[in-house]
């Protein structure tokens, strides 16, 4: 009886170890996988499109298209090949259902500017964090070829009641480089925003 109990315990441990090993294998990325779901850095050598779709078709919220051009420090020279990473909350203000941790956001995407420096992403208008007075926003980080990564000002929306007047005034004074975007709604109800980005790199 003692031998039988030991055998059952051993089999149980072996089964647990096998399951753990299998789960670990699932976490190991295949050789052609460039980034994981939770990673905030894309592969600058990968051929991303200059357009990307972030939100699935059935995602609740107001459809949103953001587009623009990335320029160099002079504000005139378009920068091709700039990798842009964006992420934001859902319409209810969560990065993941029931969680406000931005470590692994659900709604995110990468794109790489084309020869004219243009980019575009389609998603939904994010919501403010639940119970907060934080304005709705979209985070973004860019990777410039040969110059590394840098975070840029968050994308904001004109008319957001949680935006400070001084911040809005200062941003709108930047003209097309304003991080506070004006919104235009088309006949289908899709919100269109434009933001050009000037990168001060050396």
Q: Convert 129-165 into a string of H (helix), E (strand) and C (coil).
A: CCCCCCCCCEEEEEEECCCEEEECCCEEECCCCCCCH
Using an 8 Å Cβ cutoff, are 6 and 105 in contact?
no
Question: Is the pTM higher than 0.85?
Answer: no
**Is there a contact between 53 and 124 (Cβ–Cβ < 8 Å)?**
no
Q: Inform me whether the pLDDT recorded for 22 exceeds 70.
A: no
Q: Taking a C-beta distance cutoff of 8 angstroms, is the pair 60, 123 a contact? A: no
pLDDT for 180 beyond 80: yes
pLDDT tens-digit series, residues 33-52: 333 333 445 555 578 999 99
Asked if residue 1 is part of any domain, the answer here is no
28 domain-assigned: no
Given a contact cutoff of 8 angstroms between Cβ atoms, the answer to whether 150 and 142 are in contact is yes
Strands (E) across the chain are located at: 51-53, 63-71, 83-88, 107-112, 118-124, 138-144, 148-151, 156-157, 180-181, 184-185, 191-194, 197-198
Q: Which long-range contacts (CB under 8 A, 24 or more apart) does 186-192 make?
A: 188/63, 189/62, 189/63, 190/63, 190/64, 190/65, 191/62, 191/63, 191/64, 191/65, 191/125, 192/64, 192/65, 192/67
Residue 110 lies in a domain: yes
101: pLDDT strictly greater than 50: yes
3-state class (DSSP) for residue 168 = helix
* Mean predicted lDDT score pLDDT of the chain: 83
Reported as type and span, the H/E element at residue 27 is helix 2-27
8 A C-beta contact, residue 123 and residue 147: no
User: Average pLDDT in the 102-129 region?
Assistant: 96
Q: pLDDT by residue (tens digit) across 76-98?
A: 999 999 999 999 999 999 999 87
**45 assigned to some structural domain:** no
How many structural domains is the chain composed of? 1
Position of tokens 């623009």? 68
Confidence of residue 24 (pLDDT cuts 50, 70, 90): very low
The residue ranking higher by pLDDT, 7 or 156, is: 156
In a domain, residue 186? The reply is yes
pLDDT tops 50 at residue 165: yes
Does residue 34 lie within any of the structural domains?
Answer: no
CATH number of the domain bearing residue 151: 2.60.130.10
- On whether residue 184 sits in a domain, the answer given is yes
- Owning domain of residue 88: 51-198
Instruction: Measure the CA angle with vertex 189, ends 171 and 90; round to 5°.
Output: 65
């Amino acid at each position: 009886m003692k031998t039988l109990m030991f055998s059952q315990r051993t089999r149980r441990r072996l089964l647990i170890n096998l399951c753990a090993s299998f789960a670990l294998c699932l976490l190991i990325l295949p050789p052609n996988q460039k980034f994981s779901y939770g990673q905030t850095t894309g592969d600058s050598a990968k051929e991303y499109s200059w357009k990307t779709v972030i939100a699935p078709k059935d995602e609740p919220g107001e459809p949103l298209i953001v587009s623009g051009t990335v320029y160099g420090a002079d504000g005139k020279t378009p920068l091709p090949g700039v990798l842009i990473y964006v992420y934001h909350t859902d319409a209810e203000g969560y990065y993941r259902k029931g969680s406000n941790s931005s470590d692994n956001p659900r709604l995110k995407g990468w794109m790489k500017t084309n020869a004219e420096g243009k980019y575009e992403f389609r998603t939904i208008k994010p919501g403010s964090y639940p119970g907060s007075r934080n304005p709705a926003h979209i985070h973004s980080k860019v990777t410039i070829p040969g110059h590394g990564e840098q975070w840029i000002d968050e994308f904001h929306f004109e008319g957001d009641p949680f935006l400070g007047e001084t911040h809005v005034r200062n941003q709108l004074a930047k003209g097309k480089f304003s991080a506070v975007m004006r919104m235009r709604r088309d006949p289908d109800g899709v919100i269109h925003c434009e933001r050009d980005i000037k990168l001060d790199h050396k």
